[in-house]
Structure 1
Amino acid sequence: MTDSSLTIQNILVPELALCRVALSSKKRALEYIAEQVHQSAPELNETQIFNNLVARERLGSTGIGQGIAIPHCRLEDCDKVVGVLVTLEEGVAFDAIDNQPVDLLFALIVPKEATSEHLELLSQLAEKFNDHRFCNELRQCTDNTSLYNQMTETS
């Protein structure tokens, strides 16, 4: 049984759906995600988010192939799951399993003690991103609003 309170629709806020961002590297993408999360939730420490995302990447790339990455980390003093959806103007090298550049990222920042929720969300994301048509629709969005609506539309 899944926890219905934690769905992509519930963790992604419109201001964290960011369309066609120009970033030059994996490091810059992770910095950008940390900045955006901090702007949306000022109580969360931007440096700590970035460091935790980088530490997680060191364990193994979160680039899952097909130009998609799901960077994620746990965070002290975080009381809710935060999702960030970013499409990039151009793909960046991400050490993905298929060595393809990444242009579609969905980052998850989860409370330190969240485990099952975290895994449930990762599986929801993997399922959505497994659908090539869906990914192409995300990539074709030209503004943040359409990107948000596309991601949160339940099909």
Structure 2
Amino acid sequence: MDLSDLINVPAIMPALKANSKKQLLQLLSERAAAISGIAEREVFDTILQRERLGSTGVGNGIAIPHGKLAGVKRIAGVFARLETPVDFEALDDQPVDLVFLLLAPEGAGADHLKALSRIARVLRDADTVAKIRGTRDAVAIHALLSDTQASHAA
């Protein structure tokens, strides 16, 4: 499973401005709704419900909010690079500036977990993360997320 299968260039927000975790999740839900055709409120409520179980801020300024929705046809994501990091109640208490929102169909058990694992692996690569933080170009970010796949597959 390549990240290029999960995300396309229109789903990348390379210079997002958000003042809080809630606003960030709302903006990501808006973009996810536009891409998936699922109601924005439904996406937001699902993601918020998952956050109540525990923050999806995984550390090092990275968060991977995720959820399963009945209307989602295939696993898909939205990526944001924030202009200014926001408090995300992350595991390491560091503010978050890179966020990969993942939505999956309700029955996508193992595939959902594989996608989360793939995202986490790519965003653990310090070089990739540094390059993503250094650009405001959606095409470049997409290429970085996708290119990492080749080096991890080798």
User: Fold-level match, TM-score > 0.5?
Assistant: yes
Pairs within 5 Å for 1:74-85: 74-85=68-79
**Count of residues in correspondence between the two structures:** 149
Q: CA contact under 8 A between 2:55 and 2:88: conserved in structure 1?
A: yes
* SS of equivalent to 2:23: helix
CA distance in 2, matches of 1:117, 1:107: 15
State the Cα distance separating 1:73 from its structure 2 match. 0.4
1:46 is aligned to 2:40: yes
RMSD of aligned Cα (Å): 1.0
* SS of equivalent to 2:89: coil
CA distance in 2, matches of 1:58, 1:74: 15
State the Cα distance separating 1:7 from its structure 2 match. 2.5
CA distance in 2, matches of 1:33, 1:54: 12
CA distance in 1, matches of 2:78, 2:4: 11
Q: Which residue does the alignment assign to 1:112?
A: 106
Higher helix proportion (structure 1 or 2): 2
Structure 1, gaps ≥5 residues long? 1-5
Deviation per residue, 1:38-87 (Å, 9 max, x gap): 11222x11100000000000000000000000000010111111111110
Q: CA contact under 8 A between 1:18 and 1:147: conserved in structure 2?
A: no
Structure 2, gaps ≥5 residues long? none
Q: Which residue does the alignment assign to 1:32?
A: 27
Moved over 6 A (4+): none
Amino acid at match of 2:107: E
TM-score by length of 1: 0.92
In structure 2, which of residues 108, 129, 132 is the aligned counterpart of residue 135 of structure 1?
Answer: 129
TM-score by length of 2: 0.93
